[in-house]
A and B are shown apart, each in its own frame.
Chain A
């Protein structure tokens, strides 16, 4: 190990637009270098969460160390750092990139450059990475590598004439990719003699080893017994073990030195002390300054999570505790709802993060959840001069006590092809965006800048953006701060009873529209009862929208099935199954789906 010098290390990541074959190429590289035999290869080794494989996106950064014998006969160490692929995790992506010297840019030979190709590419350029283009899917009948090569050269300005033409799926030309990684991507240039300076790009909790910190060493060395210090959080610990990454396993070694990528385990109880982006140094001999770019990632989106079955509350608490060990950006605290009982108010990085946590809770912990409408942190300036932060609409003070309110806003940058500029500007206006300017990146592509309220983008802004630009818009944002806004609390009354779990805070101008949509959606979700059920949206005591669920007058299965009782029974069982997943509010049974349906109000637009 130690006889491999930095000149024989290559640290890189793979970047691509979604579905251009990032994970497949990673698999082939791992397979080709013989780390795993084909039999051992699970399809797409790196996306190892069930959920990741299903959604085709990478959620957590994954890393693998590969030994490659190049054509020149020498052995090289490849550290492949896979990156998450969504704007919610942009910060994690940027930290993963910061751990590399180069990036393999995968472009689909048929589709060419797409929005995320560009966004990822610029992100990599920002980090001074050497970008090595690869044209994938050349086996497709519609593949046109020549055109794509020219596109890469014209649009991104990268030399692409000798880009490997490959098919990751069929294993064509993978060798060429490996050779170019050796020749094109620079070796790390750290100094092992300097004080330890390592970047944390991920950390996980393992029930045997405790916290495992994934890091890239820029300078210095680290080994068992080193007293380490996390420069931003100030956490200190003694190193228990260091090592490198196999495929899905940890391989201990004696020492990690400058240029290497590996893991450190230390006597740390939870991941909160090991923030992504922080710098690890030697407590006895610290480096003078930390690596640039560290941010404390704060939750931006809050919602209530409730167990469908109230008795499962302790299970939900345990599950959240476990998930938090691995995910420092997840926050939660206990809360109670009149409609839903005991649950938790949870904070997430964004809506995808929320969905992922929710799905993991449901699948990995077998919990049935009810989620309330996501919201942000509002600042409420009260007439008595105090300021309170509100994440749960139910905690909003009485309107008479409120002087004014502020909401978080973001600086948003949207890259879009010129033909969709109009559609995207319209979208931003609908979401109360303030136009800040536009720059043409080139003839066909422009960068739009808007200030947007965060609560307008947490719902489904990303989806709308994609659908209105046919996937050709990419989006990035930074929290700008707080801004005064006319906000109101919208309440939903079902059969005259207020349902706290359905209340939300919204801008006064869109309250009417939201209220109307909520009522319409709820009307669809709430089954008919023996009596008429009014559904109302109200601000204070003023009703602004109303729908009615008509009473059932007839529900009979008057069909002849002969002796085929099974069909009849199945229908009744289905009806009964539906009832089980209901919440009783007053004398109305509301399906849990109804609480969720209000999360996606703009579906039908």
Chain B
């Protein structure tokens, strides 16, 4: 029996780092682009050990800005992945979903056609906001118009599965201004929309301005309240337009949920390639180094952390990750995976949160209610063993 595998490929380069970004990404220095692509292919070839047991089902090329690379490089990387896995066994590289993240302003017709030929069938175009002032504040390199152009071009090139990322909860954003962004996105009816809340991370330029301790109590309270109203409005508006919130921050038209993302929430096997990429293979979590030089020197074997999960950790993860999805925890799957009744393991938590109406149990699954999603961290914390 072969298992399904998802592959994440990290491209740590961007034209300019955004003000809120705390991912491993930076503008490339001379020679880095080529060195990194070579190292990545080397890691792919050396990770062939996995090819014996797995079939690749989804691929996600994320970053940074992967579309920064010349499309021939992407083609080469995907070809390497395919040949590595197919060398061992026919049919082990038949991905259903291959996504690449792109920035408006880095796409052109040739690039998109090349992507299509290389087998990429899904685009994730980062817009973040339809308000050019907000885009500037976020430190983005593009305008709303750039995104519009990219969307049109992508459709012309035959892409029929497109995601757009937007960020909510900027200081100064209002329900009205964010609704405007949503409407402008909806005008191009992407199949999938990810709405992330802005998290002000330490070490980013945003932290200098918006760190919680830098705001007055009134400012912070007002921001928090507006953020919540925006969050609720988002779900209202998007569901009216036929999008289903299938996970905390992901909305999709029927059948267009990201298969790759669902693997994370369902604890499927995934292999992360490239700097800082995280993997889960047979209940072992590991992640590559964050250091560019370390990675280039030893692309396979520069693992910075490795964690063999205990039974408790596995149960905790499968519970709290599933609670992020609208489907929730499947009681039967939990029993199949662990041989235990979930009601025994989490008796107290389930009782407490269903009684308060935050969790709902129906048809053999346990999931967050509309209200519960808003406070799901508190619920999920009770599912950590």
- Determine the residue in chain B with the shortest Cβ distance to A579: B381
Contact partners of B264 in chain A: CB under 8 A: 562-563, 565
Tell me the bound Cα distance from A559 to B8 in angstroms. Answer: 17
Tell me the bound Cα distance from A553 to B321 in angstroms. Answer: 21
Residue B173 interfacial (CB < 8 Å): no
Tell me the bound Cα distance from A318 to B382 in angstroms. Answer: 34
How close is B8's CB to chain A, nearest CB, in angstroms? 6
How close is A550's CB to chain B, nearest CB, in angstroms? 8
Residue B199 interfacial (CB < 8 Å): yes
Contact partners of B13 in chain A: CB under 8 A: none
Partner of B374, one of A554, A564, A569, A572: A554
How close is A358's CB to chain B, nearest CB, in angstroms? 29
- Determine the residue in chain A with the shortest Cβ distance to B378: A555
Contact partners of B316 in chain A: CB under 8 A: 569
Q: Which B residues, 266 to 311, have Cβ-Cβ distances below 8 Å to chain A?
A: 270, 272, 276-280, 285, 287, 305, 307
Contact partners of B60 in chain A: CB under 8 A: 562
A539-558 toward B: CB 8 Å interface, digit per residue (1/0)?
00000000000101111111
Contact partners of A571 in chain B: CB under 8 A: 377
Contact partners of A554 in chain B: CB under 8 A: 224, 227-228, 231, 374-375
Q: Which residue of B248, B285, B378 has the most chain A CB atoms within 10 A of its CB atom?
A: B378
- Determine the residue in chain A with the shortest Cβ distance to B168: A558
Asked whether, in the complex, the Cβ of B382 is within 8 Å of the Cβ of A555, the reply is no
Contact partners of A562 in chain B: CB under 8 A: 8, 60, 62, 264, 272, 278
Q: Which B residues, 362 to 385, have Cβ-Cβ distances below 8 Å to chain A?
A: 373-378, 380-382, 384
Contact partners of A579 in chain B: CB under 8 A: 381-382
How close is B355's CB to chain A, nearest CB, in angstroms? 12
How close is A574's CB to chain B, nearest CB, in angstroms? 9
Contact partners of A436 in chain B: CB under 8 A: none
* Contacts across chains A and B counted by CB atoms under 8 Å: 97
Tell me the bound Cα distance from A555 to B323 in angstroms. Answer: 14
Of the listed stretches B132-140, B176-184, B190-198, B202-210, chain A binds B190-198
- Determine the residue in chain B with the shortest Cβ distance to A552: B375
Interface size class of A (residues with CB under 8 A): 20 to 34
Per DSSP, chain B at the interface is mixed
Asked whether, in the complex, the Cβ of A553 is within 8 Å of the Cβ of B228, the reply is yes
Residue A288 interfacial (CB < 8 Å): no
Asked whether, in the complex, the Cβ of A530 is within 8 Å of the Cβ of B375, the reply is yes
Asked whether, in the complex, the Cβ of B196 is within 8 Å of the Cβ of A559, the reply is yes
- Determine the residue in chain A with the shortest Cβ distance to B368: A556
Residue B317 interfacial (CB < 8 Å): yes
Contact partners of B305 in chain A: CB under 8 A: 566
Tell me the bound Cα distance from A555 to B165 in angstroms. Answer: 21
A443-473 toward B: CB 8 Å interface, digit per residue (1/0)?
0000000000000000000000000000000
Asked whether, in the complex, the Cβ of A556 is within 8 Å of the Cβ of B376, the reply is yes
Residue A338 interfacial (CB < 8 Å): no
A568-586 toward B: CB 8 Å interface, digit per residue (1/0)?
0101110110010000000
Q: Known: A553-B374, A554-B227, A572-B380. Contact between A559 and B287, CB under 8 A?
A: no
Q: Which B residues, 54 to 76, have Cβ-Cβ distances below 8 Å to chain A?
A: 60, 62
Contact partners of B380 in chain A: CB under 8 A: 572
Residue B356 interfacial (CB < 8 Å): yes
Residue B19 interfacial (CB < 8 Å): no
Q: Which B residues, 73 to 114, have Cβ-Cβ distances below 8 Å to chain A?
A: none
Residue B249 interfacial (CB < 8 Å): yes
Per DSSP, chain A at the interface is loop
B328-361 toward A: CB 8 Å interface, digit per residue (1/0)?
0000000000000000000000000000101000
Residue B115 interfacial (CB < 8 Å): no
Asked whether, in the complex, the Cβ of A565 is within 8 Å of the Cβ of B378, the reply is no
Asked whether, in the complex, the Cβ of A555 is within 8 Å of the Cβ of B374, the reply is yes
- Determine the residue in chain A with the shortest Cβ distance to B313: A569
- Determine the residue in chain A with the shortest Cβ distance to B201: A559
A495-532 toward B: CB 8 Å interface, digit per residue (1/0)?
00000000000000000000000000000000000100
Tell me the bound Cα distance from A572 to B385 in angstroms. Answer: 10
How close is A588's CB to chain B, nearest CB, in angstroms? 14
Partner of B382, one of A553, A563, A569, A576: A576
Contact partners of A311 in chain B: CB under 8 A: none
Residue B320 interfacial (CB < 8 Å): yes
How close is A528's CB to chain B, nearest CB, in angstroms? 9
Tell me the bound Cα distance from A550 to B249 in angstroms. Answer: 25
Asked whether, in the complex, the Cβ of B382 is within 8 Å of the Cβ of A559, the reply is no
Tell me the bound Cα distance from A565 to B321 in angstroms. Answer: 9
Q: List 27 A-B contacts (CB under 8 A).
A: A550-B221, A554-B374, A555-B375, A555-B377, A556-B375, A557-B248, A558-B195, A559-B196, A559-B197, A559-B249, A560-B194, A562-B8, A562-B278, A563-B277, A563-B278, A563-B279, A564-B278, A565-B278, A565-B321, A566-B305, A566-B307, A569-B316, A569-B320, A573-B384, A576-B382, A576-B384, A579-B382
Binding site for A on B (CB under 8 A): 8, 60, 62, 165, 194-197, 199, 221, 224-225, 227-228, 231, 248-249, 264, 270, 272, 276-280, 285, 287, 305, 307, 313, 316-317, 320-321, 356, 358, 373-378, 380-382, 384
Given contacts A563-B277, A576-B381, 10 further A-B contacts (CB under 8 A): A530-B358, A552-B378, A553-B228, A554-B224, A554-B231, A559-B249, A560-B194, A563-B270, A564-B276, A576-B382
